[in-house]
């Protein structure tokens, strides 16, 4: 049986009302600068389970915890209590000063108080501070911290407006905060602080992280492979195991020189065809949703040239959206 999904504004009154729902174990979607998140009390195993269920998300796919201030980290990790963890403390302080609030997620060893339902069964917790004044207030008013996967049906393109959230989750969650469209358009960079490894590429690049920390930053080797389907593989970050971001239409990656011919060929078969010549972070997911709304049968995307790290981040989403369906 579906529930009524209430649409909140970003007024103080509405944010406090939404925060109360969260503090009582409910689910409320919130805006960030990357994509919309689905908020649940990070310390409530039942709330985390509800978030997985609403999305249809596999329970071993870890959630990211959203905080409102740097001091909130002490509620999630014992790193700041441990003399042996000075290196991680130093890195966290430098990176948070440079990039928080913003699209960088850092992975820490978790405290016992953080339930495994939130961390996907892992002994680590992924944390970030979103660059949204409304969401920072929401976290403060709730009195807790928010586990927040993207607010979409699992496997579908990520939501970059509250309307996308309503389309996917209306009747499945308690509320949606109708904030501004997301400026970044792709999910945050996920960095394992222990190894200085990027597990999910985003708008904060390895070069930007190295410039702040003075340490070498590498990409996880899994980023260069198809997602693992091994049932015994436990992903460290969202997006490492399951197909993500997929539109309803068939999607193929084609070289630019083949695009016109392939579009003509499929249209000659009577198919509705969409195409993207230059995928970019801000509009890519929104464009896939637009094509779905138009009932496209097939979508062609031209790959970005190799070279810079931001293009790599965008192509990571393109490849996953297409299920690695590449026409040579």
Beta pairing partners, 146:
41, 66
Rounded CA separation 228/294 (Å): 32
Q: How confident is the model at residue 58 (pLDDT cuts 50, 70, 90)?
A: confident
Per-residue model confidence as pLDDT tens digits over 216-270:
999 999 898 876 655 554 555 555 555 679 999 999 999 999 999 999 999 999 9
Quickly list DSSP for 240-298.
SSS--S--SSEEEE--HHHHHHHHHHHHHTT--EEEESS--TTTHHHHHHHHHHTT-SE
Query: What is the average pLDDT across 64-80?
Result: 97
Q: How confident is the model at residue 70 (pLDDT cuts 50, 70, 90)?
A: very high
Please state which CATH number belongs to domain 6-224.
3.90.870.10
Q: What per-residue confidence (pLDDT) applies to 1?
A: 43
* Domain ranges, ordered by start, for the chain: 6-224, 250-321
Q: What per-residue confidence (pLDDT) applies to 232?
A: 53
Pairing verdict, β 146-147 and 37-41: antiparallel
Pairing verdict, β 146-147 and 64-66: antiparallel
Pairwise pLDDT comparison (8 vs 237), residue with the higher score:
8
């Amino acid at each position: 049986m579906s529930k009524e999904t209430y649409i909140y504004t970003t007024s103080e009154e509405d944010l406090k009302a939404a925060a109360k729902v969260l503090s009582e174990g409910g689910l409320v979607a919130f805006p960030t600068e990357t994509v919309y998140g689905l908020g649940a009390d990070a310390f409530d195993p039942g709330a985390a389970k509800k978030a997985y269920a609403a999305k249809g998300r596999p329970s071993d796919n870890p959630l990211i915890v959203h905080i409102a201030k740097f001091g909130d980290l002490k509620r999630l990790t014992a790193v700041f209590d441990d003399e042996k963890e000075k290196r991680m403390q130093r890195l966290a302080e430098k990176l948070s000063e440079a990039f928080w609030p913003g699209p960088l997620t850092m992975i820490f060893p978790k405290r016992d108080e953080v339930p495994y339902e939130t961390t996907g069964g892992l002994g680590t917790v992924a944390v970030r501070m979103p660059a949204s004044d409304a969401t920072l207030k929401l976290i403060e008013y709730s009195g807790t911290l928010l586990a927040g996967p993207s607010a979409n049906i699992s496997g579908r393109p990520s939501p970059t407006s509250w309307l996308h959230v309503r389309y996917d989750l209306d009747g499945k969650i308690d509320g949606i905060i109708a904030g501004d469209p997301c400026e970044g358009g792709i999910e945050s960079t996920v960095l394992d602080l222990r190894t200085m490894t990027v597990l999910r590429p985003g708008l904060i690049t390895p070069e930007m992280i190295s410039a702040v920390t003075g340490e070498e930053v590498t990409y996880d080797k899994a980023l260069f492979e198809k997602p693992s389907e091994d049932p015994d593989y436990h992903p460290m970050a969202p997006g490492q195991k399951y197909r993500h971001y997929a539109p309803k239409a068939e999607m193929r990656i084609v070289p630019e020189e083949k695009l016109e011919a392939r579009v003509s060929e499929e249209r000659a078969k009577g198919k509705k065809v969409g195409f993207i010549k230059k995928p970019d972070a801000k509009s890519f997911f929104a464009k896939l949703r637009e094509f779905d709304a138009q009932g496209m049968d097939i979508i062609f995307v031209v790959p970005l040239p190799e070279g810079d790290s931001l293009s790599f981040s965008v192509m990571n989403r393109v490849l996953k959206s297409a299920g690695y369906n590449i026409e040579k």
